[in-house]
Amino acid sequence: MRILGVDPGLTRCGLGVIDAASARKVSLVHVEAATSPAGEDVAVRIGMLANAIDAVLDQHRPDAVALERVFAQQNVRTVMGTAQISGVVMLAAQRRGLPVALYTPSEVKAAVTGDGRAAKPQVGYMVARVLGLAEPPRPADAADALAIAIAHAWRGGAAPAGSDATTAAQRRWADAERAARKRG
């Protein structure tokens, strides 16, 4: 299964494509951080990033899209830009008939590093290790996009139909996440 991972952002949008042969075997296909200039009109910036997202979708033809879930921050401007680009990604995927999975930053960190509070350098290190790269992709948004795609593969998104390719620890963690959502 080919997965596009997206770390949405209005200034830098990480785009990482991996192939997942099984729940734990993944390989790098493509990675980049699409950018838009901060001084440009927001509509123009969104259009620039939409074009970059469309280009990756058209060139690499993923089977699924994994996207970082927008979460509340103190900086409303950052949240707005992230939400706007997330909408662009979801629309582009929907128009191609692709499923979209959303993951919180802590879900991605836990899946890739084993620690939901891991620092960015640790995530980058693990992405490089998992993909057999000499060093983490730069900037961090690119590594984060790959981490999101890997999390999707490892959380069962790349499992053959009818199989349960998640580990016992992943199942316990997913159960805990579901219970927390019900309480919250």
Residue ranges for the binding site?
7, 68, 141
Q: Which of 7, 32, 107, 144 is catalytic?
A: 7
Q: Is 135 a catalytic residue?
A: no
Torsion of Cα atoms, 66 then 83 then 72 then 8, to 10°? 50
For residue 139, say if its preceding peptide bond is cis, omega within 30 degrees of 0: yes
Q: Is 19 a catalytic residue?
A: no
Q: Which of 19, 32, 68, 144 is catalytic?
A: 68
- Cβ(130)–Cβ(26) below 8 Å: yes
Q: Which residues are annotated as a binding site for Mg(2+)?
A: 7, 68, 141
For residue 17, give both structure tokens. 């494509």
Beta bridge partners of 67: 6, 102
Cα–Cα dist 65/17, whole Å: 9
Residues 6+ apart with CB under 8 A from 18: 2, 3, 5, 26, 27, 28, 29, 131, 146, 149, 150, 153
Residue type, 46: I
Q: Is 54 a catalytic residue?
A: no
Q: Which of 32, 107, 141, 144 is catalytic?
A: 141
Catalytic residues: 7, 68, 141
